Structure 1
Amino acid sequence: MTREDELLLFKKIRNGDKRALDMLFRSYYSTLCNFSYSIVKNTDLVEELVADIFYILWRDCKHLDIKKNLKAYLFTAVRNKSLEVIRKEQKSAGMHTELGSMYLSHETPETSLLYNELNLRYQKAYEALPEKCRQVFKLHKIDGLSYQEISNILDISIKTVENQMAKALKLIRTEISHYQLRSLPKS
């Protein structure tokens, strides 16, 4: 579908043409679901998320100012909604870190307290990261995406991803530096 075709469909959608919305939906639904799945990794969430984007397009079309590229708007909306879903899931599940793995096998009240303090410090450091650093850090360390995938999702260069990761790691290390993990005595 050409940009002109997309813009013509959008104009029809703005005029209340449900068939135009259906045509746009059929043209991009599958591709947008695949794109969202590369971020969210949950088929049920992806299908609902993409359907929501089309509903929002229909609901808000009179207020949207899309003059050049409807496809770019759709992909950006899906990317943003996908990242929002990940953030919400992360918040509800709590931050999962690997920092406590050393302590768990020798858990005592003292090590448990130290781990909880370290985890709290880590969470605060993570939340204090600048937005772009936090986004890149989360996508790489928590969601397990490669630098290339992050570069594609956020539409930034791989070098920028590397720089943001280095900055995030430096800031987090600085914040938790006095909680250096040390070997625990064997019981």
Structure 2
Amino acid sequence: MFSSQEKFIAHLKKGDSTAYSYLVELYYKKLCDYASNLARDNFKSEDIVQNVIVRMWQNRKNLNHNVSIKNYLYKSVYNEFVDQYRKDIAVTTLEKKYVQGLDFVFEAQDEEETKRLITLIEREIEQLPQKCKETFLLNKKEGLTYIEIAEFNKVSVNTVEKQMGKALFILRKKMKEKAYYFFFMLFGLNKLKILDLQKK
């Protein structure tokens, strides 16, 4: 379709949708296979590749005319996998800490106390800054990935990450220990939905 790598990159830098479609058609499946070999998880591998392609498209104006697109993409997928792996390790360590605290949360399994904690958590989420709240609910309640949220809100993935980080920081700061253990179990471990729990 493109007579040379340089022309292909030039069209990408211009924001040519044809060049973008060609890029996805040519590399998406191959990159997913590569990422799957690294992550051993089809869903995670697709998430990795989507992150890489979206980020490259958002930063396309910075592409070097002499770069090998193939090498660039494969290296980016590897780096994204490493970044996610490091985050997973951190989350796993954090989860262990909170699993140890679950007995503290349910030391008195009182239905009224559970409802009180759910109401408290819902109130704190409702009081988040608007953008943070929207991002948090799209991710934790609707199950959208960061990429899907970025596309839905027409913002960068980095913006979504910052909004989620800010939301979690605010919630952690406002909640007392017991409420935060409960919050973490709902949204961190089992990914349950507050509204669904309230209906039961």
TM-score range, shorter chain: 0.3 to 0.5
TM-score (structure 1 length as normaliser): 0.46
TM-score by length of 2: 0.43
